[in-house]
Structure 1
């Protein structure tokens, strides 16, 4: 029986969970050198390694090396969890420095502080952030809204903030402490607009439920509900004398008494919904989707001017001193109006998109507009000229606000990151703290992503290794299936998480578009599944099965899904052909589109770049064919590398070839190299016999895993000889892997040297002779035609080998006790043919003078002392074995008249002598002669046993 493959090099005898380098060793074993992992487990405790089931699980916990492996699994899992935590931490840190959805509205609190509010993120929640313009960072986030924030209002003293939006509730915040003071009772529908009275005691909210509500900001109690509009309330303006003006989609404006909570008057005149209203002096200006503005005299409740000129709806209005106002429209223009006479002063036309918002500096000299064209523009109001175009946003700008001192403008857009601009110079003022923290978070996030991926891969690999350790092939495959199903959930989460990253402004700046479409994710997932299958089956030394199993499984799955689609999911379709086509389409998608990328993963495509890098760095010493035991596809210069290795150091080169031949996909390369080197060698037979003397080649070709593996897997020596002979060598104890290896053998046949020569035929003889099962077989392979070894005489040493095998073949022919007793005469005949030299004092016929009748027993007894082999004759070790056999054969002779007791005694001594010779031959003689001699001994033992039985029958009374 072969030996278990031994480890070579400076690899650790026991892995240490607290040594990071040992994780590298383990990863290298799992992904590239699974035989080393098997050897590690075997060396740790051979008895536990050979156990099966729960006995192996229980025993593994008693072995330090096994326990350390489990410890590495726990440590790697902990690292994975910590990596995920750091990933989420860096994401949270980055998110805290910006919004995760488009900024809907902004407002100024003071010259140093502004506030921005966003739409709902992927979970529906919106955020409000208070920014400190001096430090350039977020002071705090106000997080309580469950939907987009549509409107903000700040009290005059800057201590309170009102916010409202899609979740129907108005919230009151303390801006000094960043705390929620009140969550007011909800409207029936979303809130469109909010305002606060000049004294900061009351707040007003207007909603799509067509009502306005007046609130006490100190107590949070509802004071009035103002009803009267028949459409969504879109805009409000607080007026002096405790009055309120509201505009609605019902095309009207209403004037309210806030003290009494009653409607004072309804203002009609617009032909479409009112979008914005502003109180300017003792008048009010409203804008509508009909493209007109109206100037209202509130005392008389009449429109004093209708301002026409815009060609699309009015989006915003701002007051300018000296009785002027500026309007922004979706027609891409702004217009400056004289409200006293209703005349147009200037038209500002330089935007290429809707003008969404406009603000004016406190001194009334400049106006800043924001547009869907992603720019802001600063205008000279008096001259009606463009001063600066502010470029920086990547998305539609939705809202702008100017600080009370008029020096800075803050803008909010769909790119989720507010920007601050200097009004005088038009330069962007970077949010330094935010940018610095965001940069750190982005780098940390990127590193964490890589670390999470590495930890996930390593943890999965160690889990597979632990399953192999405890449960063998079945446990490893079951765990791999569990990992595959879990990974499906993971890839779904990746889809969602990609959308989350996409809405983070800092990650967007760093990573750009994260467009993970279904085809990309399917490709990545299928590659992962194929790679997982490859690693799993390689770990349990089933390389061939690792390539074909997922392919066959998915083909069967595709057929099943196709049938299910056609017969169940399409059962409402009455046309059979359409049902059939639907089933075929989905089966084709799984079987071809998905399965091809799975196959790409199962052939280890993702590992080839790693092998290539290692090859480029180390050249000859790290060629992939030697470094990666599980290569599937051919690698350039593999044959050249192995051939050179043989020339550099024949013994080491042969061991490298044996290691490569362990892989069924690279076995043909090993055969080609051996074939070439053998036939170019000046002494090919001795080269073959040197294989037989190398103890490392006596190891199993593949490390056994299952119980059947121990009995069926050949040695490395047998594998190489069988390949050289051009035969398929079974290297597995399971039918599935045997079938897969047969497929591989036929697929790679074109890469082998297939011409038979005397050397390759002799390799086949040696292969058969090395099979110990032949000891019990009725027909022994050496009894095949003599041409298998007689035609070796043309090679150096061939005569010696041919005579040795011929001699042993003759002895194998002795099947009975009578034939056995002619062995001594055969030895004498061989000596006369000159295959032995005699000492000068050696008598003819082994001490028997010509013409005498002396028994040859004494001559046979001196055979080993008196004869030595001639040059090119029988090998010395074989000669010694033959002489011993001849002595034993001669000792079986007894006189015809000898008693039964004497005959039995002689035969018993012969049996004991054969047993002693068997032990000597096993320890001193090498294969293949060792196997032949042992077969001879077994045959002779059987012949003597039959003779003893015959003597016993003859001596029994009738």
Structure 2
């Protein structure tokens, strides 16, 4: 094996090694999820060298410099205040979801009008319209970090794989017996996972379009090939999210609780309580240290993954919160509500930093780009808004 070059990943912190083996160019990542500005670069370098033979003594100084750069990025204070940039009348019927590609230069929208549309973020111009579904397009995703494919899931019980550059449909995935409500690519972009109201998840081969496996017992997206039936909630599961290394799963439920599960064993390790109504959305931050929950009780909460304690309660919305996400650095939380606003919060103090107003109906989708300096909100008013 011959090391060719390093690539830096800021969110979550990590160093990508590009190396040659058997005449082929390959990559592997060194995830530094526990890195903080206080971490000793020398001690961390020693740990990396012990476990990674590609990091020879001649490369040590270079790796140390990369560690310091990651720490400097972490130490930067996020004072960015978002300003409304543009409103897009994206569809003739309400939107269902929005999603960015990794660079943030393009985003996609799904809609009740049975289409998915691809947009240029900077100009707000439509690049492609993906037509072919016979019912609501509910779940959408780019195959980030590559961004050359798009997957769509529909209430017509099918999912489709598209070319992001041309809008051509590569495959239609058939097999679910009820609406598809969520989907995701695996990190290698070789599989698409779909979750359906038929209480199953399916894995599909991106190259051939064939069904690889059916995973029964789930009602939300599955991002790991080895999964278990997670039994413990007393109500319908509203969402499922994996942490970065897929070692933990968090589920939100209509029983007003969230649960943390070990992905390998399927064992429930904690129940996160406190909400007074249904939990409608859950997510990890990119480091996997925090969990955020959104509820029909109009509040959101941030929990510690390690202690399982609620760190802050985010109060201020006048309606249910249907969507929640962390900024890439994890210092901020974004919520979308039926009160027609989105709110930006400090993840540690729980202080509301900004209210994003202007939609005329409930907001049900919100997302950051990879750098965390652009937000898109999607609303039942048939528009999405871009905020810089």
The reply to whether TM is greater than 0.5 is: yes
- Deviation track 1:726-748 (CA, whole Å, cap 9, x = no partner) reads xxxxxxxxxxxxxxxxxxxxxxx
- Deviation track 1:624-662 (CA, whole Å, cap 9, x = no partner) reads xxxxxxxxxxxxxxxxxxxxxxxxxxxxxxxxxxxxxxx
Pair 1:283–1:186, CA change in 2 (3 A): closer
- Deviation track 1:776-817 (CA, whole Å, cap 9, x = no partner) reads xxxxxxxxxxxxxxxxxxxxxxxxxxxxxxxxxxxxxxxxxx
Pair 1:180–1:214, CA change in 2 (3 A): same
CA RMSD of aligned residues (A): 1.7
Runs of 5+ unmatched residues, structure 1: 1-95, 121-125, 244-254, 256-264, 423-958
**Aligned residue number for residue 237 of structure 2:** 274
**Aligned residue number for residue 708 of structure 1:** none
**Aligned residue number for residue 166 of structure 2:** 177
2:199 is the alignment partner of 1:210: yes
Q: Aligned match of 1:302 in 242, 267, 271? A: 267
Asked if the contact 1:116/1:129 (under 8 Å) is kept, the reply is yes
**Aligned residue number for residue 312 of structure 1:** 277
- Deviation track 1:488-543 (CA, whole Å, cap 9, x = no partner) reads xxxxxxxxxxxxxxxxxxxxxxxxxxxxxxxxxxxxxxxxxxxxxxxxxxxxxxxx
**Aligned residue number for residue 150 of structure 1:** 138
Aligned residues: 296
- In our comparison, the structure showing a higher alpha carbon Rg is 1
**Aligned residue number for residue 345 of structure 2:** 379
Q: Within 5 Å, give how 1:247-286 maps onto structure 2.
A: 255=227, 265-280=228-243, 281=245, 282-286=247-251
For normalisation by structure 1, the TM-score amounts to 0.30
Q: Within 5 Å, give how 1:560-579 maps onto structure 2.
A: none
Q: Aligned match of 2:125 in 119, 125, 137? A: 137
Asked if the contact 2:115/2:129 (under 8 Å) is kept, the reply is yes
**Aligned residue number for residue 38 of structure 2:** none
**Runs of 4 or more above 4 Å deviation:** none
Q: Aligned match of 2:100 in 97, 108, 115? A: 108
Pair 1:409–1:237, CA change in 2 (3 A): farther
Q: Name the one with the larger helix percent.
A: 1
Asked if the contact 2:201/2:221 (under 8 Å) is kept, the reply is no
Give, in angstroms, the shift of residue 301 of structure 1.
2.9
Asked if the contact 2:322/2:364 (under 8 Å) is kept, the reply is yes
> In structure 2, how many angstroms separate the alpha carbons of the residues matched to 1:302 and 1:202?
25
Q: Within 5 Å, give how 1:219-618 maps onto structure 2.
A: 219-226=208-215, 228-229=216-217, 233-239=218-224, 242-243=225-226, 255=227, 265-280=228-243, 281=245, 282-320=247-285, 321=287, 323-422=289-388
Asked if the contact 1:170/1:186 (under 8 Å) is kept, the reply is no
Asked if the contact 1:160/1:173 (under 8 Å) is kept, the reply is yes
Asked if the contact 1:97/1:137 (under 8 Å) is kept, the reply is no
> In structure 1, how many angstroms separate the alpha carbons of the residues matched to 2:382 and 2:89?
10
Q: Aligned match of 2:190 in 174, 196, 201? A: 201
Give, in angstroms, the shift of residue 412 of structure 1.
1.0
Q: Within 5 Å, give how 1:815-854 maps onto structure 2.
A: none
**Aligned residue number for residue 178 of structure 2:** 189
For normalisation by structure 2, the TM-score amounts to 0.73
Runs of 5+ unmatched residues, structure 2: 1-87
> In structure 2, how many angstroms separate the alpha carbons of the residues matched to 1:236 and 1:322?
18
Q: Which has the higher contact order (CA 8 A, sep 6+)?
A: 2
- Deviation track 1:901-943 (CA, whole Å, cap 9, x = no partner) reads xxxxxxxxxxxxxxxxxxxxxxxxxxxxxxxxxxxxxxxxxxx
> In structure 2, how many angstroms separate the alpha carbons of the residues matched to 1:201 and 1:140?
23
Give, in angstroms, the shift of residue 409 of structure 1.
1.1
Asked if the contact 2:199/2:219 (under 8 Å) is kept, the reply is no
Secondary structure at 1:199 match in 2: coil
Asked if the contact 1:275/1:287 (under 8 Å) is kept, the reply is yes
> In structure 2, how many angstroms separate the alpha carbons of the residues matched to 1:273 and 1:186?
22
> In structure 2, how many angstroms separate the alpha carbons of the residues matched to 1:311 and 1:298?
27
Asked if the contact 2:288/2:305 (under 8 Å) is kept, the reply is no
Give, in angstroms, the shift of residue 300 of structure 1.
4.0
Q: Name the one with the larger strand percent.
A: 2
Asked if the contact 1:97/1:138 (under 8 Å) is kept, the reply is no
Give, in angstroms, the shift of residue 361 of structure 1.
1.0
